Amino acid sequence: MKNIEAIIKPFKLDELTDRLRQAGAQGITVSEVRGFGHTWGEKEVYRGSAHVVDFVPKIRIQVVADDDMVQPIVEAIQATARTGEIGDGKIFVSSVVDAIRIRTGERDHDAL
Protein backbone atom coordinates (compact mmCIF):
# COMPACT_ATOMS: atom_id res chain seq x y z
CA MET A 1 0.00 0.00 0.00
CA LYS A 2 1.07 3.56 -0.65
CA ASN A 3 0.15 6.96 0.73
CA ILE A 4 -0.22 9.48 -2.08
CA GLU A 5 -0.17 13.08 -0.90
CA ALA A 6 -0.61 16.00 -3.28
CA ILE A 7 -0.46 19.74 -2.68
CA ILE A 8 -2.56 21.56 -5.31
CA LYS A 9 -4.11 24.92 -6.11
CA PRO A 10 -7.52 25.29 -4.41
CA PHE A 11 -9.52 25.91 -7.58
CA LYS A 12 -8.52 22.45 -8.90
CA LEU A 13 -10.17 20.53 -6.04
CA ASP A 14 -13.59 19.77 -7.57
CA GLU A 15 -12.15 18.67 -10.89
CA LEU A 16 -9.52 16.54 -9.17
CA THR A 17 -12.06 14.87 -6.89
CA ASP A 18 -14.09 13.76 -9.91
CA ARG A 19 -10.98 12.56 -11.71
CA LEU A 20 -9.80 10.55 -8.68
CA ARG A 21 -13.17 8.78 -8.49
CA GLN A 22 -12.83 7.87 -12.18
CA ALA A 23 -9.27 6.62 -11.56
CA GLY A 24 -10.57 4.24 -8.88
CA ALA A 25 -9.57 5.97 -5.64
CA GLN A 26 -11.57 4.43 -2.79
CA GLY A 27 -11.49 7.56 -0.64
CA ILE A 28 -9.65 10.81 -0.17
CA THR A 29 -8.84 13.16 2.67
CA VAL A 30 -8.76 16.89 1.93
CA SER A 31 -7.14 19.59 4.08
CA GLU A 32 -6.77 23.32 3.62
CA VAL A 33 -3.10 24.17 4.12
CA ARG A 34 -0.78 27.13 3.67
CA GLY A 35 2.83 27.11 2.62
CA PHE A 36 5.43 28.20 0.13
CA GLY A 37 7.90 26.60 -2.24
CA HIS A 38 10.72 27.95 -4.36
CA THR A 39 9.08 31.34 -4.81
CA TRP A 40 8.81 32.00 -1.07
CA GLY A 41 5.29 33.39 -1.29
CA GLU A 42 3.78 36.02 -3.53
CA LYS A 43 4.06 39.77 -3.69
CA GLU A 44 0.64 41.43 -3.48
CA VAL A 45 -0.53 45.02 -3.49
CA TYR A 46 -3.10 45.98 -0.86
CA ARG A 47 -4.38 49.56 -0.67
CA GLY A 48 -1.42 50.78 -2.66
CA SER A 49 1.24 49.08 -0.52
CA ALA A 50 3.21 46.08 -1.71
CA HIS A 51 3.83 43.30 0.76
CA VAL A 52 4.84 39.66 0.60
CA VAL A 53 2.36 36.95 1.52
CA ASP A 54 4.56 34.39 3.23
CA PHE A 55 2.16 31.46 3.06
CA VAL A 56 0.09 30.70 -0.03
CA PRO A 57 -3.25 28.86 0.44
CA LYS A 58 -3.22 25.33 -0.98
CA ILE A 59 -5.19 22.10 -0.73
CA ARG A 60 -3.63 18.84 0.45
CA ILE A 61 -5.16 15.65 -0.94
CA GLN A 62 -4.31 12.35 0.69
CA VAL A 63 -5.13 8.94 -0.81
CA VAL A 64 -4.08 5.55 0.52
CA ALA A 65 -4.21 2.95 -2.23
CA ASP A 66 -3.02 -0.51 -3.22
CA ASP A 67 0.27 -0.55 -5.12
CA ASP A 68 -1.43 -1.29 -8.45
CA MET A 69 -3.58 1.86 -8.14
CA VAL A 70 -0.70 4.27 -7.52
CA GLN A 71 0.16 4.99 -11.15
CA PRO A 72 -3.40 5.78 -12.32
CA ILE A 73 -3.97 8.01 -9.29
CA VAL A 74 -0.67 9.88 -9.73
CA GLU A 75 -1.39 10.34 -13.45
CA ALA A 76 -4.87 11.67 -12.65
CA ILE A 77 -3.43 14.18 -10.18
CA GLN A 78 -0.74 15.33 -12.63
CA ALA A 79 -3.13 15.71 -15.54
CA THR A 80 -5.77 17.55 -13.53
CA ALA A 81 -3.66 19.81 -11.29
CA ARG A 82 -1.21 21.00 -13.96
CA THR A 83 -1.74 24.57 -15.17
CA GLY A 84 1.82 25.13 -16.36
CA GLU A 85 2.25 28.00 -13.91
CA ILE A 86 4.44 28.32 -10.83
CA GLY A 87 2.75 26.83 -7.78
CA ASP A 88 1.00 23.87 -9.42
CA GLY A 89 2.10 21.79 -6.43
CA LYS A 90 3.82 18.53 -5.60
CA ILE A 91 2.98 14.83 -5.29
CA PHE A 92 4.59 12.64 -2.63
CA VAL A 93 4.31 8.84 -2.60
CA SER A 94 5.34 6.87 0.48
CA SER A 95 4.87 3.33 1.77
CA VAL A 96 2.17 2.47 4.26
CA VAL A 97 3.29 -0.16 6.75
CA ASP A 98 -0.15 -0.99 8.11
CA ALA A 99 -3.76 0.15 7.82
CA ILE A 100 -6.46 -0.70 10.35
CA ARG A 101 -10.18 0.06 10.16
CA ILE A 102 -11.05 1.19 13.69
CA ARG A 103 -14.68 0.03 13.61
CA THR A 104 -14.04 -3.59 12.52
CA GLY A 105 -10.34 -4.20 13.08
CA GLU A 106 -9.84 -5.11 9.41
CA ARG A 107 -6.26 -4.67 8.26
CA ASP A 108 -4.33 -3.69 5.14
CA HIS A 109 -6.28 -3.99 1.87
CA ASP A 110 -9.52 -4.86 3.69
CA ALA A 111 -9.21 -1.67 5.75
CA LEU A 112 -9.18 0.51 2.64
Question: 3.40.50.10790, 3.30.70.120, 3.40.50.1820, 3.30.980.20: which CATH number matches 2-111?
Answer: 3.30.70.120
Confidence bin at 46 (pLDDT 50/70/90)? low
Domain regions of the chain by residue span: 2-111
Task: Express each pLDDT in 27-43 by its tens digit.
Answer: 999 999 998 777 665 56
pLDDT score of 51: 63
CA-CA-CA-CA dihedral for 79, 83, 88, 91, to nearest 10: 10
Supply the angle between the helices 13-23 and 70-81 in degrees, to the nearest 10.
Answer: 150
**What mean pLDDT do residues 102-106 have?**
95
Tell me the torsion sign for CA atoms 73, 75, 78, 81. negative
Task: Express each pLDDT in 56-101 by its tens digit.
Answer: 899 999 999 999 999 999 999 999 999 998 889 999 999 999 999 9
pLDDT score of 87: 85
Among candidate residues 61, 65, 48, the one with its CA nearest the CA of residue 1: 65
CB-neighbour burial class of residue 62 (10 A; exposed 0-12, middle 13-18, buried 19+)? middle
Tell me the torsion sign for CA atoms 53, 76, 67, 32. positive
SS3 at position 62:
strand
